[in-house]
Chains A and B, each alone.
Chain A
Amino acid sequence: MTSTDKTSPLELYRTMLVIRMVEERLAKSHQRGLIPGACHTYVGQEAIATGVCAHLDTEDAVFSTHRGHGHALAKGMDPGELVAELYARETGCSRGRGGSMHLFSPEIGMMGTSGIVAPCILQAAGAGYSSLVTKSRRVGVAFFGDGATNNGAFFEGLNMATIWKLPVLFVCENNQFATEVPFSTVAGNDSVAGRGAACGIRSVELDGNDVLAVEAAARQAVARARNGEGPTLLECKTYRTRPHAEGMGDFTYRTREEVEQWKTKCPLARLKHHLLTHNLASAAEISAVEEAVAAQTEAAHLFAEKSAYPAPETATLHVYSEPRPGPHREAPPSEPGTRELTFMKATWEALSEEMARDPKIFVLGEGIGERGGNFATTTGLFALHGPERVRDTPICERGFVGLAGGAAMTGTRPVVDFMFADFVLDAVGEIINQIAKMQYMSSGRIKMPVVLRGCIGIGHSAATHHSGSYYSMYAHFPGLRVVVPSTPRDAKGLLKTALTGNDPVLFLEHRELMTLKGPVPEEEYYIDFGKAAVVRAGTDVTVVALALMVQKTLQACEPLATEGISVELIDPRTVSPLDVETILQSVAKTGRLLIVDEDFAHCGVSSEIAAQLADRGFDDLDAPIRRLNGKPSPTPYSPTLEAAVVPNPESIAHAIRALCAE
Chain B
Amino acid sequence: MEEGKFLSWLKNDGDFVQEGEPLFALESDKAAQEVESIDRGILRIPITTPRPGDIVKVGQVLGYLLAEGETAPATESPAPALAATPPPQKAAATSAPTPAPIALPTPAKASATEMPLRASPRARRAAAQHGIELATVPPGGSTGRIRERDVLSALPEVEPGIAKDGFTKLPVTPLRRTIAARLMHSRQTTVPVTLTTRCEADTLLGFRKQLKAEAETAHLAIVPSLNDLLVKLTAAALKSHRMLAATWSDDALLLPETTHLGIAVDTPTGLVVPVIRNADTSTLTEIALQSQKLIAAARAGQLAGSDMQGACFTLSNLGSFGIEAFTPVINPPESAILGIGTVVREAVPLEGGSFAARQRLTLSLTFDHRVNDGAAAARFLQTLTHLIEHPLLALV
Binding site for B on A (CB under 8 A): 591, 618-623, 658, 661-662
The answer to whether A618 and B143 have CB atoms under 8 Å apart is no
Instruction: Give the residue of A620, A622, A658 whose beta carbon is less than 8 angstroms from that of B147.
Output: A622
Q: A620 to chain B: which residues have CB within 8 Å?
A: 121-122
What's the nearest-Cβ distance from chain A to residue B86, in Å? 24
Closest to A614 in B: B121
Residues of B within 8 A of A661 (CB): 141-142
Q: B121 to nearest A CB, angstroms?
A: 5
A618 touches B141 (CB 8 A): no
Specify the chain A residue showing the minimal Cβ separation from B122. A622
Asked, given contacts A591-B120, A591-B148, whether A619 binds B142 with beta carbons under 8 Å apart, the answer is: no
Collect the chain B residues with CB atoms within 8 Å of residue A621's CB. 120-122
* Given A591-B120, A623-B145; 9 other pairs, CB 8 A cutoff: A591-B147, A619-B121, A620-B121, A620-B122, A622-B121, A622-B122, A623-B147, A661-B142, A662-B143
Question: In the complex, A621 Cα to B123 Cα: how many Å?
Answer: 8
Residues A662 and B142 in contact, CB atoms below 8 Å apart = yes
**Within 8 Å of chain A (Cβ to Cβ): is B125?**
yes
Closest to B150 in A: A622
Q: Which one of B125, B141, B143, B149 lies within 8 Å of A619 (CB-CB)?
A: B125
Q: Which B263-304 residues have a C-beta within 8 angstroms of A? A: none
Q: Which of B80-138 contact A (CB under 8 A)?
A: 120-125
Residues in A with CB closer than 8 Å to B123 are: 622
Q: Which 4 residue pairs of A and B lie closest in terms of their CB atoms, listed nearest first?
A: A622-B122, A661-B142, A622-B120, A619-B125
Report yes or no: A622 in contact with B148, Cβ–Cβ below 8 A.
yes
Q: How far is the CB of B131 from chain A (nearest CB, A)?
A: 17
Smallest Cβ distance from B198 to chain A, in angstroms? 62
Complex Cα spacing A278 to B143, Å: 95
16 contacts between A and B (CB under 8 A): A591-B122, A591-B148, A619-B121, A619-B124, A620-B122, A621-B121, A622-B121, A622-B123, A622-B147, A622-B148, A623-B120, A623-B145, A623-B147, A658-B142, A661-B142, A662-B142
| Identity of the chain A residue whose Cβ is nearest the Cβ of B125 in the assembled complex | A619
- Tally of contact residues, B, Cβ under 8 A: 13
Cα A618 to Cα B148 in complex, Å, equals: 13
CA distance A620 to B120 in the complex (A): 9
Chain A residues, CB < 8 A from B124: 619
B145 contact set on A, CB distance < 8 A:
623, 662
Q: Which residues of B contact A618 (CB under 8 A)?
A: 121
CB distance from B180 to the nearest CB of A (A): 30
Would you list which residues of chain B between 123 and 173 have a CB under 8 Å from chain A?
Answer: 123-125, 141-143, 145, 147-149
In the complex, chain B residues whose CB is within 8 Å of the CB of A623: 120, 141, 143, 145, 147
Residues of A within 8 Å of B149, CB to CB, are 622
Residue in A closest to B146 when the chains form the complex, CB atoms? A622
Cα–Cα, bound, A618→B125 (Å):
10
Closest to B149 in A: A622
How many Å from the CB of A355 to the closest CB on chain B? 50
B-side contacts of A662, CB under 8 Å: 141-143, 145, 147
Q: State the CA gap A31–B336 with chains docked (Å).
A: 109
Interchain nearest-CB distance for A556 vs B (Å): 19
The smallest C-beta distance from B314 to any residue of chain A, in angstroms, reads 45
Nearest A residue to B151 by beta-carbon distance?
A: A622
Rounded to whole Å, the gap between the CB of B134 and the closest CB of chain A is 14
Q: Please name the residue on chain A nearest to B145 by beta carbon.
A: A662
Shortest CB-to-CB span from A539 to chain B, Å, is: 12
Q: Which of A623, A658, A661 has the most CB atoms of chain B within a 10 A radius of its CB?
A: A623
* C-alpha gap A662/B120 in the complex (Å): 10
User: Which one of B120, B123, B145 has the highest number of Cβ atoms from chain A below 10 Å of its Cβ?
Assistant: B120
Docked Cα-Cα span, A661 to B109, in Å, equals 13
Alpha-carbon distance between A662 and B146 when the two chains are bound, in angstroms: 9
B residues less than 8 Å from A622 (CB atoms): 120-123, 147-149
Nearest CB in chain A to that of B143: its residue: A662
Chain A residues lying within 8 Å of B148, measured Cβ to Cβ, are 591, 622
Chain B min CB distance to A621 (Å): 5
Name B123's closest neighbour in chain A (CB-CB).
Answer: A622
Chain A residues with Cβ below 8 Å from B121 are: 618-622
A591–B143 Cα distance when bound, in Å, is 16
- Across the interface, which residues of A come within 8 angstroms of B142, CB to CB? 658, 661-662
Q: Closest approach, in angstroms, between the C-beta of A316 and any C-beta of chain B?
A: 31
Minimum distance in angstroms from A660 CB to a CB of chain B: 9
User: Hey, which chain A residues are within 8 Å of B120, CB to CB?
Assistant: 591, 621-623
Q: Report how far A662 CA is from B145 CA in the complex, Å.
A: 7
A621 to B149, CA, bound (A): 12
Task: Tell me the chain B residues, 13-57 only, with Cβ under 8 Å from chain A.
Answer: none
- Cα(A622)–Cα(B125), bound, Å: 10
| Across-interface contacts of B147 in A (CB, < 8 A) | 591, 622-623, 662
Q: How far is the CA of A658 from the CA of B123 in the complex (A)?
A: 18
A658, B142: Cα distance in complex, Å: 8
Distance to closest chain A CB from B149 (angstroms): 8
Q: How far is the CA of A661 from the CA of B141 in the complex (A)?
A: 6
Closest B residue to A623 using CB positions? B120
For the complex, give the distance between the alpha carbons of A623 and B121 in Å.
Answer: 8
- Minimum CB–CB distance from B329 to chain A (whole Å) comes to 41
Q: How far is the CB of B109 from chain A (nearest CB, A)?
A: 11
A623 to chain B, nearest CB (A): 6
Q: Which residues of A contact B141 (CB under 8 A)?
A: 623, 661-662
Q: With A and B bound together, what is the CA distance between A623 and B124 in angstroms?
A: 12
- CA–CA, A632 to B123, complex, Å? 34
